Amino acid sequence: MGGDRVLIDRFLEMMAAEAGAARNTVAAYRTDLSLASATLGGTLAEADAAAIGRLADGWATLAKSTVARKASALRRFYAFLAEEGLRADDPGSALPRPGTSRPLPRTLSGGDIEAMFAAIDVRIARVPPDRNDLRLSALFELLYGSGLRATELVSLPRGAIVSDRPYLILKGKGGRERMVPLSDRARAAVVRWRAHVPAASPWLFPSGKSHLSRMRLYQVVRALAGEAGIPPDRISPHVLRHAFATHLLEGGADLRALQAMLGHADIATTEIYTHVDASRLVRLVSELHPLIDAGRTRP
């Protein structure tokens, strides 16, 4: 696999430097390409359509989403080789294109969110307040109030949020910058929490020698759900991000604005939330369409 390894490294360097691929994406591509190379005895780079077909046959028992991911990695790899003049052809057309259906995101009702905020209010009303409760309040306000990804949230710098600035500039997946709205409540919660963060800390949510881990964030969010009477297996930091998006759409937010706030590179990723809001759309048509006239009967 020596030759394959060198070319895979070059391809992934391009993905990271030129295409702006996220670290997790690069890692997934490396795994898929390395496994494919091993299956073909280190001849992935020069494989013909027949060899690729045999490789794809070995994916028969895998989920459609997994096959789609593997095929996408190989297609991009072969396109790179062709563009670099390392192959005279692009055999990517021999790879399968399974139809995949994107599952609807799990979300929470307005009542669920209110119950969790009420549980937080009970906590921070204690005298004196526990610093962990103040941290939880800031974390939850930012997760639900701004739709941050878990990694983005736990790695926020100590001074990232300014009390008189209603937005935050973030660098998310692929190094793309976006502006994230900050509510008055969120900024106030951060101010209360930051008073307990050492001034020398580089992180807003420090833990040991680094920042709070995603796993610990997951644990504290689930514990809060349990206190609020919500089954913990229904919730995670990402579910709160989904709730942020879904509730904004229900309130009439523009899909493009939502795409920008969530940091989605492709509007198709944001459009998944329109399916969650279908019942509201049906109600709007039934109640507000100009042809609906409850007082008029057909002749």
What 3-state class would DSSP assign to 180?
A: strand
Query: Cα(215)–Cα(281) distance, rounded to whole angstroms?
Result: 37
CATH (domain of 186): 1.10.443.10
| Domain-located, residue 150 | yes
Say whether 167 is catalytic. no
117 and 158 belong to one structural domain = yes
Does 87 fall in a domain?
yes
Catalytic residue among 135, 194, 211, 264: 264
Q: Which of 76, 135, 173, 211 is catalytic?
A: 173
Tell me if residue 238 is catalytic: yes
Establish if 45 belongs to a structural domain. Answer: yes
**What's residue 19's pLDDT?**
61
pLDDT at 268: 66
Number of domains in the chain: 2
Mean pLDDT of the residues in the chain: 83
pTM given for the model? 0.59
3-state secondary structure of 158: coil
Residue percentage of the chain with pLDDT more than 70 = 83
Active-site residue identified among 149, 187, 194, 211: 149
Q: Which of 62, 94, 126 is the last residue of a domain?
A: 94
Residue range 23-75, pLDDT digits in tens: 888 899 999 999 999 999 999 999 998 899 889 888 988 888 888 889 889 98
Coil/strand/helix, residue 26: helix
Q: 29, 78, 144, 273: which one is catalytic?
A: 273
pLDDT band at 298 (very low <50, low <70, confident <90, very high): very low
Q: Would you state the pLDDT for residue 107?
A: 74
260 by DSSP, 3-state: which?
helix
Residues 147 and 221 in one domain: yes
Find, among 282, 273, 229, 269, the residue nearest to 248 by Cα.
273
Same domain assignment for residues 142 and 184: yes
Tens digits of residue pLDDT in 113-164: 999 999 999 999 998 889 999 999 999 999 998 888 888 899 999 999 988 8
Catalytic residue among 241, 247, 275, 296: 241
Check if 173 is active-site: yes
Residues 145, 225 within the same domain: yes
128 & 50 share domain: no
Same domain, 172 and 200: yes
Same domain, 178 and 88: no
Is 222 one of the annotated active-site residues of the chain? Answer: no
pLDDT, residue 295, reads 47
Chain centre to alpha carbon of residue 160: 20
CATH number reported for the structural domain that contains residue 51 in this entry: 1.10.150.130
Active site residue 264: yes
Which of 34-38, 176-180, 280-284 shows the lowest mean pLDDT across its residues? 280-284
Domain that holds residue 215: 110-238
Q: Does residue 152 lie in a domain region?
A: yes
Residue 251 is assigned to a structural domain of this protein: no
61 and 18 both lie in a single domain: yes
**Domain boundary residue among 94, 123, 158?**
94
pLDDT reading at 299 higher than 50: no
Same-domain pairing of 128 and 199: yes
Let me know if residue 264 belongs to a domain: no
Phi, then psi, of 172 in degrees rounded to 5: -105, -145
Per the model's pLDDT, the better-predicted residue between 104 and 17 turns out to be 17
- What are the Cα distances from residue 110, in Å, to 52, 76, 243, 272? 49, 42, 9, 19
Whether residues 152 and 199 share a domain: the answer is: yes
Query: Is residue 288, in this structure, part of any structural domain at all?
Result: no
What pLDDT is attached to residue 43?
93
Region of poorest pLDDT, from 88-97, 203-212, 224-233: 88-97
Told to judge if 149 belongs to the known catalytic residues of this protein, a careful annotator would answer yes
- What is the rounded distance in angstroms from the CA atom of residue 258 to the CA atom of residue 245? 7
Tell me whether residue 136 is in a domain. Answer: yes
Greater confidence (118 vs 297) lies with 118
Overall average pLDDT of the 169-187 stretch: 80
Residue 168, pLDDT > 90, answer no
Q: What single-letter amino acid sits at 280?
A: R
Average pLDDT of the residues in 203-207: 96
Q: How many CB atoms lie within 10 A of CB 80?
A: 20
Domain-terminating residue out of 66, 94, 122:
94
Within 8 A by CB and 6+ apart from 239, the residues are 105, 106, 107, 108
